[in-house]
């Protein structure tokens, strides 16, 4: 099978993957940590602990708005990917998509962790443990995000190299 050319119009839409990753990171946080494990909600450390129905309703509303924002990130990622895919028939390494998704997921963890857990202290990763242990969970969340961000960047870079090889005919695509 012939190798597909990759030119300026055929650049991989990295922003699409990053937006997908931001959305998936937010969905993971909201679904797994907020709903399934119930470790925290949006403002449980900011004066609205889930100890009354009113506080739980307020946190649930904010959790829903948070999910709405993460949904928008996924839609933006889909639109960017769709637009790029319709420009030209090209070949991209799957590593580029997975790498950029990991970058976005990691970016979500780092930014959300720094802002919500450390600066604003709206909530902490695991509020079911004693408060003196919250810092370990919060730092672990940041480390996990940084590892995904770095690993995603390496994977994306590897995918760019594979795409470049394919476009110059150094490697055949099957």
* pLDDT over threshold 50, residue 7: no
User: What is the average per-residue pLDDT within 33-47?
Assistant: 96
d(CA 31, CA 107): 18
Structure tokens at 120: 């604003």
Helices marked H in 10-133: 14-28, 53-85, 94-112
> In this predicted structure, what is the pLDDT of residue 11?
82
pLDDT, the chain, mean: 90
Residue with tokens 């960047």: 153
Q: Which tens digits make up the pLDDT trace of 49-61?
A: 999 999 999 999 9
Cβ contact 16:104 at 8 Å: no
**Is the pLDDT at 124 greater than 50, yes or no?**
yes
Structure token pair of residue 22: 């931001």
Mean pLDDT of 10-18: 90
CA dist 53 and 2 (Å) reads 63
DSSP symbol at 170: S
Average pLDDT over residues 80-94: 80
CA-closest candidate to residue 153, choices 110, 108, 103, 93: 103
């Amino acid at each position: 099978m012939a190798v597909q050319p990759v030119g300026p119009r055929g650049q991989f839409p990295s922003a699409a993957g990053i937006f997908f990753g931001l959305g998936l990171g937010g969905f993971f946080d909201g679904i797994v940590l907020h709903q399934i494990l119930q470790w925290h909600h949006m403002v449980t450390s900011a004066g609205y602990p889930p100890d009354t129905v009113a506080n739980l309703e307020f946190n649930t509303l904010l959790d829903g708005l948070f999910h709405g924002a993460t949904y928008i990130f996924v839609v933006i990622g889909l639109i960017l990917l769709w637009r790029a895919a319709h420009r030209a028939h090209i070949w991209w390494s799957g590593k580029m998509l997975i790498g950029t998704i990991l970058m976005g997921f990691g970016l979500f963890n780092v930014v959300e962790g720094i802002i919500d857990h450390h600066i604003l202290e709206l909530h902490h990763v695991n509020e079911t443990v004693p408060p003196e242990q919250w810092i370990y969970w919060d730092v672990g969340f940041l480390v996990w995000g940084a590892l995904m961000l770095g690993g995603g960047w390496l994977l994306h870079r590897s995918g760019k190299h594979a795409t470049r090889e394919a476009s110059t005919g150094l490697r055949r695509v099957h």
